[in-house]
Structure 1
């Protein structure tokens, strides 16, 4: 790989991990907007509710679409952001960096109570699910801004590429409009970087058992369909852009090499997003010209442009453990959780970060799931499904999950803020051998209506 590219990758992703800084937590929670009448979400209702929220909490407008509708707003004192993710039936709350999970929990619940009070006037609600239960009813159209218009166009280009890659594309390229995640960013230090990526990668199969909460009838085998939808879309055209690392990352140099094998598929010129067939960074920057498409306000036009090293800014990856330019790892594999349990994802990761090497010891010596010939990547896919593999012993799984949760609780106790109480719902799941998606599907099997779970998972 060209040394200029290696240096640019190092400066963007590695150098920030060397900076001395306090340990902060960043939380982003996406939530489906649901019309309880079973009709599609009317975007005017979402927009009106967002405008009311902005006025009530003193947020400042940060973005509007080409149609003039609000897309995001920010609260300057806290750094909190309300936005719509991809479309107006997926609302996101992002929180300014905080040192205390209870600070985030308090604001999250305050915001959600207000939003749901407003939504209820129209027979709507935000709920805590990783897939919008009305995914097949909603219009699932992108917000009219440069980024989401480009993304929607890019994801829908998959039929043109079916013969280029050895993978099966699914038939739901609109998945970004109806999938909701719970993501947490934690600061990472240079000397722990490869261990964090490797150890938390080994943890992913256990996380699938605890946090699965995205069921889509199109793919009934999955309790957590979100990750499959990402991986078998144009986002996964290059598998190094999504999911797990697949093998142990042994050094920083190897990590830089890996990032160099990731693909870029978009950039901007003159305020316009351009998307193109994905190219690895090495290939992209070795070309004198790349051909892509951009929207001119009426239709898509072809364009040829010269790559520039500044285009590295537009590398979009969706790894489960995603290294960011902020010197953080963003943990991206968890579904949105029931709203009353939303901080379980952040608490779980925060506690285990404090106990990285004890977690490494547990997982590298695990013989509960890692003694049957399957690696972490394969196990994560298997354990995301409704039917468990033949070798799974539920009692052994329960003991190992409790051991991991106890370790997270110890890490949180070290912080001396009482945050370990936030793990309580996860202990219940481990002991009940369940997760929100499994609980919902077992209830539906007993003739409990879906609307009951929509309301239950919306409660705070």
Structure 2
């Protein structure tokens, strides 16, 4: 039997995980908002996005917005991200230079974020259009077939792409993998982070997990045109059927009702890790349970040094916990927040509807719990939240769902969110107006797009419409 020389005890691992994910929620009375919005870039000539145009516009932004300083530079000396140290806003490119991301430093109300978003977006939109490129509010880049799917040339994104492309190595697993490891380069999301307190942590995860099927109905906006147009939100499938989903606990829903913090810790201990850093370089290795990782004396991996891969053997360190990351719909972060990450980018004129909906429900846990406990429209019909989500991202509702009653339920939840926003006193309920229209018309951005295409509207018309700020 092989002798294990690891000096990292199980207690030390558990303590490290607790400090990373749970400790920051204690005495956390903050009520901040963090918003991240990814937006696809399109070349209107139906050619690949011109990365030189992207770099030129990024430089122009840096000159115009002098508070923003380069945060990350790629191997070719191009700016990947800029940060404003005064408010911690970040302008970056996600996975590739085909996807622009606006990340806003923590704020107290949505209007502060919206004002800055409009400013940044208008600047980029105007400059891109001068080069016959544009931005639009679609969760799947409709011109993805024309683009070069090349990761940003830095350690982080080259490592990530390398990991996603490694699915053929797992051929012995009884698992289906899609053939789009580059999906991060053409899919875009709308995400919000909200502070969470230790006392409400378990209830927040349990109750908001049950909300995910409703969010699928309201926010689906990711149709893979020409491939699988039955799915209105391909995001779930992309993560589930990639190497991120080898351990299903790392993606999607919590498939269990958590009872207490011990239950949550057990769930965290069940996650997989697939990378860390050594000497400033990312090291990628076959995905492995975090507890099993620390039981190993050494781990065989690969690192990428400016585009060149080489093998490396590393010894696990307790600090590697920093690189344990899941891609769940509700992601507990090290900041004492939950990141809600299941929603697609929305049409730009409705850009904050996802954040507003989630924010309004934050302090309505008990009311929302009561709605779900008494519901017989979608729950108590033989399906759990995860199964319902998978049904509700499709074009057609399942036969057991009464559409009239479903939208009555959604309206009830939407009213609860509005009530929560009104109680905040900032007037943020205005950001829910588009959702009331969706409930009234029983639609969402994906359905609207497919309907328009069926009425002989061109994809260019939709790109223009979904990209308008007003």
Aligned equivalents of 1:299, 1:94: Cα separation in 2: 30
* Equivalent residue number for residue 352 of structure 1: 361
Is 2:203 the counterpart of 1:195? yes
* Equivalent residue number for residue 182 of structure 2: 174
Aligned equivalents of 2:48, 2:117: Cα separation in 1: 26
Contact 1:354–1:412, Cα closer than 8 Å, also in 2: no
Say which of 124, 127, 137 aligns to 1:118. Answer: 127
* Aligned CA-pair RMSD: 1.0
Alignment of 1:411-450 (within 5 A): 411-450=420-459
Is 2:23 the counterpart of 1:29? no
Deviates more, 1:334-343 or 1:357-366: 357-366
Aligned equivalents of 2:28, 2:303: Cα separation in 1: 41
Contact 2:273–2:325, Cα closer than 8 Å, also in 1: yes
* Equivalent residue number for residue 404 of structure 1: 413
Say which of 243, 247, 253 aligns to 1:238. Answer: 247
Alignment of 1:51-66 (within 5 A): 51-58=59-66, 59-66=68-75
Q: Which runs of 5+ in 2 are unaligned?
A: 1-8
Aligned equivalents of 1:366, 1:168: Cα separation in 2: 34
Is 2:315 the counterpart of 1:306? yes
**Residue 364 of structure 1: how far off its partner (Å):** 2.2
Please give the per-residue CA displacement for 1:391-433, whole angstroms capped at 9, x wherever unaligned: 1221111101110000000000110111111100001111111
Partner SS for 1:28: strand
Partner SS for 1:136: helix
Aligned equivalents of 1:39, 1:432: Cα separation in 2: 36
TM-score (norm 2): 0.96
**Residue 22 of structure 1: how far off its partner (Å):** 2.5
Say which of 333, 347, 351 aligns to 1:342. Answer: 351
* Equivalent residue number for residue 183 of structure 1: 191
Partner SS for 2:331: strand
Say which of 115, 125, 131 aligns to 1:106. Answer: 115
* Equivalent residue number for residue 169 of structure 2: 160
Say which of 215, 218, 221 aligns to 2:223. Answer: 215
Is 2:74 the counterpart of 1:84? no
Partner SS for 1:288: coil
**Residue 298 of structure 1: how far off its partner (Å):** 5.1
* Equivalent residue number for residue 236 of structure 2: 227
Partner SS for 1:334: strand
Aligned equivalents of 1:15, 1:298: Cα separation in 2: 38
Aligned equivalents of 2:135, 2:61: Cα separation in 1: 14
Is 2:389 the counterpart of 1:380? yes
Aligned equivalents of 2:403, 2:48: Cα separation in 1: 40
